[in-house]
A and B are shown apart, each in its own frame.
Chain A
Amino acid sequence: MSEGSGERRWQRLIRFPFRGRAGIAADVDEEFRFHLDRRAEELRARGLEPLAARDGALGRFGDLNDARRYCVALDARVERGARRRTWFGDIAYDLKHALRQLRRAPGVSLVVIVTLALGIGATTAIFSAVRHLLIDPIPVPGGDRIYAVSRVSGDGSMFITPRGEAVAAWRRGATSFEHLGTFTTTERTLSASDAPENLIAGEISADVMPLLGVRPLLGRAFTNDDARNGAAAVTILGHGFWKRRFGGDPRIVGQTISLDGRPFTVIGVMPRNFSVPFLFGETARIWLPLSADPSVVGARAIAKLRPGVTRESAERELSEIMRSDPVSARSAGEWKPIVRRPQDYLGTGTRDTLLVLLGAVGLVLLIACANVANVLLARAVARRREFVIRAALGAGSGRVVRQVLAESALLSVAGGVLGLLIAWGGLGLIVRIRPQQLAALDEVRMNPEIVAFALAISLVTGILFGLAPAIFATGRRLQDPLRSSSRSSTAGAGAGRARRALVVAEMSLSVVLLVAAGLLVRTLVAMQQAPLGFDPSGLTRAWIILPAERYTNVQQRTEAFGEILRRVRGIPGVEAATWSMGVPPDLGITIGTLELEGRPAATEGNVTLQFNAVTPEYFGILKNPIRAGRPLSDRDSAAREVMVSESMARRQWPGESAVGQRLRLSSNGPWNTVVGVVADVTLPSTGGAPFAGGQVYYTRFNAGFEEATLVVRQTTGAPGLATALVRVAEAVDPMIRVREVNAVGSLVQARFAKERFNGILLTAFAVTALVLAGVGLYGVVAYSVSQRVREMGIRLALGARPRAVMRLVLLGEARLTILGVVLGLLAATAVTGLLRGMLYAVEPTDPLTFVSVGVALLAIALVAAWVPARRAMHVDPVVALRGE
């Protein structure tokens, strides 16, 4: 009893601070020594000699070393567990405390979280998209071995599809490939009494699906037999089409649908989003077997290399086979086979666009980080007193730093989660507004590595700028903020400078983005407003194909075309209609030597001209004004009449009238007389010089071909014209095919899709940047006002007018803004040259854009500073001077 009583002064030393292995051993030894000493004392008290007493004590204890080892090992384990528990316990405490701190300043927390989220979201979405388009292999098993096979011209400037004979020879002899597939697109008409419909059909050889590692969702894949001549016509439905037209009914497999008036047996349904990645420009609704026959022309080829086979060795083998194959060798000419990554089909223009977007989104991330740094810096400076007090109360500097770390981590994680949501939505938006060239974007997924990267960036920013002031605060000048009662102590001067620098940087980066966005928007507007030379609104075109086997002579074709036109003109809402060979923006191109009568033979070599074969009504229907002469005479006229575009007339017959002149496009062909000059049809385009060759119009031949383009102008935008046209054609002959029914206006707009895509994205980034910069500026000004409340109070008390105080604040802020804007505009002049290829009718240094951006930014800055400046004006001198 006596031993334990009375000792109530427990010293909790065992848990904290933690002991090392040596400390543990020392403790065990001390405990044991105490015991042994007591025993020895006891023995001595019984009369033993000191040495004998010690030996006795040791002897009674038993195996000392064994017990000691056991206890030390056990305690070390206990210690580790305790250390872990304490660490987690502290983390939990830190997080709880951090959450409380963040909730106490909801405005600041929200700004940081939203800023991070915007930065992470935009970056993740764009980087994911770009990585998917430019870097990642096709997302199928073995996708890194999938390549496109095509031909390249001798000078390397043009790529075309391989010839059927070559593909057949490669299929027979090449050992480089696991699979070699071919595919193409066609358009088909689904004949259905209630709602006939034009469909994009993907025609694929039997190798394509195994090459992509895809099996049909329902039914079976194509076999080589399906594409043989005389085989039963079969089709596999696309997933979306199956859902839309057949309600996703699995019993459709085995049934028949009618395409172009012919029955096709449905043998399967494709999985969702099936496509040939990167190579398929359009979304196919249905899939048909493509014959492996060498006579197939215009099909693209896709190959999966055997593992270990390089692109170059495959190319060598293909060339070798072509040289040894008599048919291929003859037709090869200067064209060489080339094996390329599917991504290469995007073209350099698209790549440049993507890289510009990448740069822009990088700037947004930079601005976001600057903003976070800015806000956290302000907060940390404002909390210096808190840190110092906590340090003074015994919190180790490590503890304070951990606290700040917890807050930063919490903010970063919240921002990251919100950012991922934004990225997810943004990616969906990007897919929705993507231009045709980027069809491969439909398969884009958020890239986990990029998500991790963006999160890491935000975490580092948060930690760096949250931590630095905390370390500073708990460091050398511990007691300063406590000693000086005034809050306007100079302690935060360094941080203040850093914050102003950050705001200036944000401003200038925003200016760069805004200028870029402004140039792209101006491009888009200029393209929309560019005179086309005709009026596309209300125009629809359709491509009509008579089955060649039934319409063998001109008489039959003339009658059929005439009957169709008569009925089309009877469709309600149709104002006028006629036939032509093509319609802008899809005009034919002819390359030849242009000869002018009475001039020496052409010196400029081959010229490229757009040409069209039209009827006399064509120009009226297109509202394509005739500038001189008269329209082509009636189609039955035997006279060889042509019309030329204005720019061509001016170039070829400068200073004289083109009307009455004669020209021919081959050196021994018949002469054609120019009867009229018509306004240029131009389509604005970015990147490269616009097409300058001019246009030549011939009289439409007397139904010389079985295909023709129907041009229809409607009085009203009556819907259902496509269906009506298919019905008309069916009524004349169910075998007549109607293809590519499109509003001409939408075809023209589709030409601007890339520019619209760029414009929308860059504008989104620029606006984000502007908002972030505005928030940053507001933060700086609001903070400096709150720091200078006493000064304002003194000024007001000494008789300064409130307006003067406000001006003082605004002037201080204006210096930052003007500096930011000037730096930004300078940077922009250096950078916008990169955009040259994306601009139309706008110079990279367009003064209007630069000036408007500068003015806009100054205005935004004024608004951002106005609110805190007003607060300064309304400072109550009494309250301000009474102090804290």
Chain B
Amino acid sequence: MNDRLDLPQGTLDLLILKTLSLQPMHGWAISERLHQVSRATLQVPQGSLYPALHRLERRGWIAASWGASDNNRRAKYYELTRAGRKQLAAEAAAWAKLTAAVDLVLDMQ
């Protein structure tokens, strides 16, 4: 468990948006997917995932609706809205800039 990273402040939103940009998902799927894609490196605290989802919904970046899951249970699905797509692009660009800058500093001789 030691090789797991806690998420830096504010990056959870970016990860959720990115995950939902592929297809609509419910909270469980988002959590599982983040876990898989990061090769089990990223530990998403579920206590923060749902508040984050509801917050993003309130901002209008994602929209929620109820649907039937693969095992035929009612589940709440989230999908990216148009505003969310824009937000994702902006946040991803900002993140790229930030990491590039951090890399530059770290590569300093």
Do A and B share a complex? Answer: yes
Query: Which of the four size classes fits the interface of chain B?
Result: 20 to 34
B47–A31 touching, CB < 8 Å: no
B75 within 8 A of A: yes
B23–A62 touching, CB < 8 Å: no
A67: chain B residues within 8 A (beta carbon) = 46-48, 50-51
B51: chain A residues within 8 A (beta carbon) = 67, 70-71, 74
Q: Which of B8-37 contact A (CB under 8 A)?
A: 23-29, 31-33
B28–A61 touching, CB < 8 Å: no
Q: Mark B33-61, 1 if CB is under 8 A from A, else 0.
A: 10000000000011110110011011000
A30–B74 touching, CB < 8 Å: yes
Among A1-9, A132-140, A327-335, A504-512, which stretch is in contact with chain B?
A: A1-9
B55–A74 touching, CB < 8 Å: yes
* B45 smallest CB distance to A (angstroms): 5
B54–A3 touching, CB < 8 Å: no
* A29 smallest CB distance to B (angstroms): 11
**Cα separation A338 to B38 with both chains bound (whole Å):** 98
A34–B24 touching, CB < 8 Å: no
A5–B23 touching, CB < 8 Å: yes
Q: Mark A769-813, 1 if CB is under 8 A from B, else 0.
A: 000000000000000000000000000000000000000000000
Q: Mark A1-21, 1 if CB is under 8 A from B, else 0.
A: 111111101111110000000
B47–A64 touching, CB < 8 Å: yes
Q: Which of A205-252 contact B (CB under 8 A)?
A: none
B74: chain A residues within 8 A (beta carbon) = 30, 34
* A851 smallest CB distance to B (angstroms): 75
B54–A74 touching, CB < 8 Å: yes
Contact of A62 among B46, B58, B67 (CB under 8 A): B46
A105 within 8 A of B: no
B76 within 8 A of A: yes
**Cα separation A32 to B50 with both chains bound (whole Å):** 8
A846 within 8 A of B: no
B65–A71 touching, CB < 8 Å: no
Q: Mark A28-65, 1 if CB is under 8 A from B, else 0.
A: 10111011011100000000000000000000111110
Contact of B67 among A1, A11, A30, A37 (CB under 8 A): A11
Q: A61-B47, A63-B47 are in contact. Are A78 and B25 (CB under 8 A)?
A: no
A2–B65 touching, CB < 8 Å: no
Q: A67-B51, A71-B51 are in contact. Are A14 and B66 (CB under 8 A)?
A: yes
A-B contact count (CB 8 A): 96
A34–B23 touching, CB < 8 Å: no
Closest residue to A34 on the B side, CB-wise?
B75
* A642 smallest CB distance to B (angstroms): 102
A11–B66 touching, CB < 8 Å: yes
A75: chain B residues within 8 A (beta carbon) = 54, 58
**Cα separation A6 to B75 with both chains bound (whole Å):** 14
B69–A3 touching, CB < 8 Å: yes
A27–B76 touching, CB < 8 Å: yes
A34–B28 touching, CB < 8 Å: yes
Closest residue to B20 on the A side, CB-wise?
A4
Q: A34-B76, A61-B47, A64-B47 are in contact. Are A7 and B68 (CB under 8 A)?
A: yes
**Cα separation A62 to B46 with both chains bound (whole Å):** 6
B32–A3 touching, CB < 8 Å: yes
Q: A5-B23, A62-B45 are in contact. Are A31 and B50 (CB under 8 A)?
A: yes
* B70 smallest CB distance to A (angstroms): 6
**Cα separation A7 to B66 with both chains bound (whole Å):** 10
**Cα separation A74 to B73 with both chains bound (whole Å):** 24
Contact of A35 among B24, B27, B54 (CB under 8 A): B27
Contact of B26 among A3, A11, A61 (CB under 8 A): A3
A39: chain B residues within 8 A (beta carbon) = 28
A34: chain B residues within 8 A (beta carbon) = 26-28, 69, 73-76
A77–B29 touching, CB < 8 Å: no
* B15 smallest CB distance to A (angstroms): 16
Contact of B46 among A4, A13, A30, A35 (CB under 8 A): A35
Cross-chain pairs A/B with CB under 8 angstroms, 8 sampled: A1-B33, A7-B69, A9-B68, A10-B65, A34-B27, A38-B28, A62-B48, A75-B54
Leading 3 A-B pairs by shortest Cβ distance: A62-B47, A3-B29, A4-B25
Report which A residues bind B (CB closer than 8 A): 1-7, 9-14, 27-28, 30-32, 34-35, 37-39, 60-64, 66-67, 70-71, 74-75, 77-78
